[in-house]
């Protein structure tokens, strides 16, 4: 994928996330990919293999995961993408709960792959929705 623009890489990665296949998603990230989460419930990691492995559990819990980009701002090899994330949360022993959370990705692209992704989202909003408080 080295001939792709930053915009094409980010859009391809988001499409793969929405497709829900760990191998297809991992194919869009660099071998030394950095996945940074700023949320207290998020878990950062480094490496394509670690990311691929974590995706299996993540996608099982975040069923029907879909990212709708609200915008995509590109500056050279960097991009910012505010999103609306929707999914059905499947915790242990619970029925799926519909969740909608707005957030922001910040990307760095190198060699036609996502080299770094920083994810900003509100973990308190996630807990409010899955625990039913404030509904």
Residue 92: per-residue pLDDT: 67
Nearest C-alpha neighbor of 28 from the set 116, 127, 87, 90: 116
Report residue 134: phi and psi, to 5°: 80, 10
- The CATH number of whichever domain residue 81 belongs to comes to 3.10.450.50
For residue 93, tell me if it sits in a domain. yes
Residue 134: per-residue pLDDT: 46
pLDDT tens for the chain, 135 residues long, are 558 999 999 999 999 999 999 999 999 999 999 999 888 787 899 999 999 999 999 998 899 999 999 999 999 999 999 999 999 997 766 678 899 999 999 999 999 999 999 999 998 899 899 887 544
Domain that holds residue 49: 6-131
Joined tokens for residue 49: 């293999």
For residue 1, tell me if it sits in a domain. no
């Amino acid at each position: 994928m080295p001939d792709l623009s930053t915009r094409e890489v980010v859009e391809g990665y988001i499409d793969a996330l929405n497709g829900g296949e760990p191998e297809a998603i991992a194919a869009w990230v660099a071998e030394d990919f950095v996945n940074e989460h700023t949320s207290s419930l998020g878990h950062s990691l480094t490496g394509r293999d670690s990311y691929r492995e974590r995706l299996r559990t993540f996608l099982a819990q975040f069923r029907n995961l879909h990212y709708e980009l609200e915008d995509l701002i590109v500056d050279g090899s960097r991009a910012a993408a505010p999103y609306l994330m929707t999914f059905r949360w499947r915790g242990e022993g619970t029925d799926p709960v519909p969740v909608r959370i707005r957030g922001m990705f910040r990307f760095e692209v190198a060699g036609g792959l996502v080299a770094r992704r920083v994810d900003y989202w509100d973990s308190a909003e996630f807990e409010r929705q899955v625990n039913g408080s404030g509904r």
